């Protein structure tokens, strides 16, 4: 285990598969995954095979884009 990770009992340490994604509209992205409209075919197949109750959905970070910083730093 990497330093600082002793005792980690997260999904990866239990041999579970972890999917990390990102989206501008999280609710819409989740809906797409549930209704076979997304681009991640293996994830959609797993939803069909195991059912939604076999999965945990966690928002790890909510990021708000700051246009004022982008304009100042990048000249946008």
- Tell me the per-residue pLDDT of 7-64, one tens digit each, with 9 for 90 and over: 555 555 566 777 778 888 888 888 887 787 877 888 888 888 888 888 888 888 887 7
Distance CA 29, CA 33 (A): 6
What is the residue extent of each domain of the chain?
16-74
Q: What pLDDT is stored for residue 74 in this prediction? A: 65
Query: Under 8 Å CB-to-CB from 43, ≥6 apart: which residues?
Result: 19, 33
User: What average pLDDT does the segment 67-74 reach?
Assistant: 67
């Amino acid at each position: 285990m990497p330093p600082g990770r002793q005792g980690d009992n997260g999904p990866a340490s239990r041999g579970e598969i972890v999917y990390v994604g990102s989206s501008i509209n999280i609710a819409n992205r989740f809906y797409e995954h549930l209704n076979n409209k997304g681009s991640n075919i293996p994830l959609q197949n797993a939803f069909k095979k195991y059912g939604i109750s076999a999965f945990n959905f966690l928002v790890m970070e909510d990021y708000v884009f700051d246009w004022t910083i982008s304009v100042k730093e990048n000249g946008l």
